[in-house]
Amino acid sequence: MRSAERTGPRPVERLHHSKVELALHTLRAGEGRALLLLHGLGERTPAAAPAELLSWPGPICGLDFTGHGQSTIPRGGGYTCEILMGDADTALRHLKQATLVGRGLGAYVALLLAGARPAEVRGAILRDGLGLAGGGPTPGTPQVPFPNPSASGTPDPFALAELSRDVRPPDYATAFLRQANELSGLDRPVSVCCAERPDWLAAVAKEPGALETHVGEALRLYASVR
Amino acid sequence: MTAPLTPEEAAAARFPGARRPDRQRFVSSQGLRLAVSEWGDATAPAILLAHGGFDFAGTFDVFAPILAGAGYRVVSWDQRGHGDSEHAELYSWDADVRDMLAVLDSIRADPLILIGHSKGGAISTHLIQAAPDRVRAFVNLDGIPSHRPPPDVADHERTRLLAKELSGWLDHREQAGSKVRRPDTIDGLARRRQRMNPRLSLEWLRYLATVGARKDPDGWRWKIDPALRPGGFGPWRATWSMTRFASLPVPLLGVLATESEPMGWDTRPEEVQPYLPPGARVMALPAVGHFVHIEQPQRIADLVFEFLGDLS
């Protein structure tokens, strides 16, 4: 079924993750398990469901991470990918179950959540996008990021500064993949559909639970699992 | 404190040698209000004290006056979410270091002497590496990371262990926005805290409760943000902090506790030795636990004075 034409503003749910208010957008209503979009670093949920995802049979939703899109901006930064995993978990609780599709930073967060909530995440599709590499596998030179203080609105400059330098060791990433593989009951809980291969993703792609495929194939696979 | 103190509470608010700050002020760190405490002559050479996780500047109420009495302007602050500072939306290592720089900017006495305890020692280490021109000497009180690998458990068990930690953490995050601390008496708060601080006297912990808790109509509550939680997880490796220690560009005195306790780091001097910067001094104090400056404030202060004296 194609996306229904929409004349008014699309529905937005306001969810609470600790002291932050998150915006969960319904890009296409529907029955069954939702496809949850997790955007890349500095991005926001797109205005319409991307064409490559329209073959998904159920509803399509998108979450704005903390400090992005229509979600609230915290004072003085403090971003970590683990906090963003908490953002995604907040949306997941609301949806009960979901298949995740993450771009860039959202792909890494999707992997983390697939490992943390293996029963509720029914497949995670990792796509290219901003913030896929993070700060590399080991820490860089110590610094204190002071982003542009006169910037206003989203994306929060602290998010851009802090989430582009968070360390992503390959064995940390694979611990989440292994957990998803062991506890989700899915043969291939994570699908890697990316051209860029930062170290963490190269390690994940080699694991038994990861499938290297195209996004259409991954959507078909996860639409068919219970 | 909103409600008046009972005679017992007023008695608890007195502790031998403890002195509340001579001056208190607030600093804004990108819009987040941080409470800053100062002891001693405002024109004297400055020492900045960084407290540990789940502590607050008031835990220096005995140690700081000793330093101030020797002719120093002693400054400390409540880290975000702790003590009288605002509760933040987010907490992270980077944010704590940035907050610390905001406090440092407000002192206007660079380069200064930095003393950090536990997590405060660890964020101080990061700050010095990111802004080496701001600090001229560093005392690390039982906040030197350990090189020790994690407990050896089978891969399968480790996966299960991680799963439990993760879901526990996420479940906590879900509740964190609406959590309210349980009200108690001063004595009750002190006894609860003693589980984490078994080597500290109830008399001291009652005193701390009168500073670090507020009196609501239904009882006393710790001021610390209920969203904060000990432990947690993430990609950081102690080894990284350990190896970076060797690059510290300022004179260093490290003090290690030797008595194991719940909040302690259990770092042993032989683990630290290969990672010390040139000229650094690290000592392990016998029969002292993690809160070295609370158990033996005068002794630690004397070590600091000797260290600083040797530098001049």
Alpha-carbon gap: A6 to the closest alpha carbon of chain B (Å): 32
Q: For residue A169, is it within any domain?
A: yes
Nearest Cβ partner for A138 among B126, B173, B240 = B240
Distance between CA atoms of residues A101 and A115, nearest Å: 14
**Rg of the Cα atoms in chain A:** 17
Per 3-state DSSP, what percentage of chain A is helix, strand, and coil (rounded to 5)?
30, 20, 50
B73-77, strands of its sheet edge to edge: B23-29, B32-39, B73-77, B46-50, B112-117, B135-141, B252-257, B281-285
Q: Which residues of chain B have pLDDT under 50?
A: 1
Q: For residue A69, is it within any domain?
A: yes
| CATH assignment of the domain containing A150 | 3.40.50.1820
Phi, psi of B257 (to 5 degrees): -80, 155
Distance between CA atoms of residues A79 and A90, nearest Å: 16
Residue among B18, B26, B10, B11 at smallest CA distance from B83: B26
Distance between CA atoms of residues B151 and B163, nearest Å: 17
Distance between CA atoms of residues B155 and B147, nearest Å: 21
Strand partners for B220 = B184, B215
Q: Residue A8: its pLDDT value, please?
A: 52
Nearest Cβ partner for A18 among B129, B177, B232 = B177
Q: B-chain residues within 8 Å CB-CB of A118?
A: 163
With tokens 């009200």, the residue in question is: B183
Assess contact for B148 and B238: CB atoms under 8 A.
yes
Q: For residue A192, is it within any domain?
A: yes
- Between chains, do A182 and B159 touch, taking CB under 8 Å as contact? yes
Closest-CA residue of A relative to B227 is A18
- Between chains, do B130 and A169 touch, taking CB under 8 Å as contact? no
Alpha-carbon gap: B206 to the closest alpha carbon of chain A (Å): 30
- Between chains, do B89 and A74 touch, taking CB under 8 Å as contact? yes
What's the pTM value of the predicted model, to 2 decimals? Answer: 0.94
Beta carbon pairs, A and B, within 8 Å: 124
A9 pLDDT band, cuts 50/70/90, is low
Q: Is the dihedral of CA B86, B90, B93, B99 positive or negative?
A: negative
Assess contact for A193 and A110: CB atoms under 8 A.
no
Residue A193: count other Cβ atoms within 10 Å of its Cβ.
20
- With a cut of 90, say whether residue A173 has pLDDT above it: yes
With tokens 């780091």, the residue in question is: B265
Q: For residue A1, is it within any domain?
A: no
- Between chains, do B89 and A90 touch, taking CB under 8 Å as contact? no
Q: Residue B207: its pLDDT value, please?
A: 98
Q: B-chain residues within 8 Å CB-CB of A146?
A: 98
Distance between CA atoms of residues B11 and B5, nearest Å: 9
Residue among B303, B311, B304, B294 at smallest CA distance from B118: B294
Nearest Cβ partner for A75 among B30, B176, B234 = B30
Phi, psi of A163 (to 5 degrees): -85, 0
Q: Residue B261: its pLDDT value, please?
A: 86
Q: Chain A interface residues facing chain B, Cβ-Cβ under 8 Å?
A: 16-20, 66, 72, 74-80, 82-83, 85-86, 89-90, 93, 115-118, 138-139, 142-146, 149, 158, 162, 166-169, 172, 175, 178-179, 182-183
Q: What is the pLDDT of residues A191-207, one digit of tens each?
A: 999 999 999 999 999 99
Element (H, E) at A26: strand A20-28
Assess contact for A68 and A87: CB atoms under 8 A.
no
Q: For residue A6, is it within any domain?
A: no
- Between chains, do A78 and B170 touch, taking CB under 8 Å as contact? no
**How far is CA A22 from each of CA A50, A74, A110, B168, rounded to the nearest angstrom?**
21, 11, 17, 21
Give me the residue spans of the domains in chain B: 7-148+235-311, 155-222
CATH 3.40.50.1820 describes domain B7-148+235-311: yes
Between these two residues, B108 and A211, which has the higher pLDDT value? Answer: A211
Q: For residue A162, is it within any domain?
A: yes
Residue among A64, A67, A84, A81 at smallest CA distance from A13: A64
Average pLDDT of A149-159?
A: 88
- Cite the DSSP H helix spans in chain A: 81-95, 105-116, 157-162, 170-183, 199-205, 215-223
A146 pLDDT band, cuts 50/70/90, is confident
Q: Residue B263: its pLDDT value, please?
A: 84
Four-CA torsion B186, B192, B195, B197, nearest 10 degrees: -30
Closest-CA residue of B relative to A88 is B170
**Rg of the Cα atoms in chain B:** 19
Which domain does A153 fall in, by range? Answer: 12-223
Q: What is the pLDDT of residues B27-86, one digit of tens each?
A: 999 999 999 999 999 999 999 999 999 999 999 999 999 999 999 999 999 999 999 999
Q: Is the dihedral of CA B262, B164, A163, B179 positive or negative?
A: negative
Nearest Cβ partner for B95 among A66, A77, A172 = A77
First to last CA, chain A: 20
Q: B-chain residues within 8 Å CB-CB of A16?
A: 177
A2 pLDDT band, cuts 50/70/90, is very low
Q: Residue A5: its pLDDT value, please?
A: 42
- Between chains, do A76 and B127 touch, taking CB under 8 Å as contact? no
- Between chains, do B31 and A76 touch, taking CB under 8 Å as contact? yes
Nearest Cβ partner for A83 among B90, B99, B167 = B90
Nearest Cβ partner for B174 among A76, A93, A166 = A93
Q: For residue A53, is it within any domain?
A: yes
Q: A-chain residues within 8 Å CB-CB of B127?
A: 144
Q: Residue B148: its pLDDT value, please?
A: 59
Q: Residue B79: its pLDDT value, please?
A: 98
Distance between CA atoms of residues B95 and A156, nearest Å: 14
For chain A, the average pLDDT equals: 94
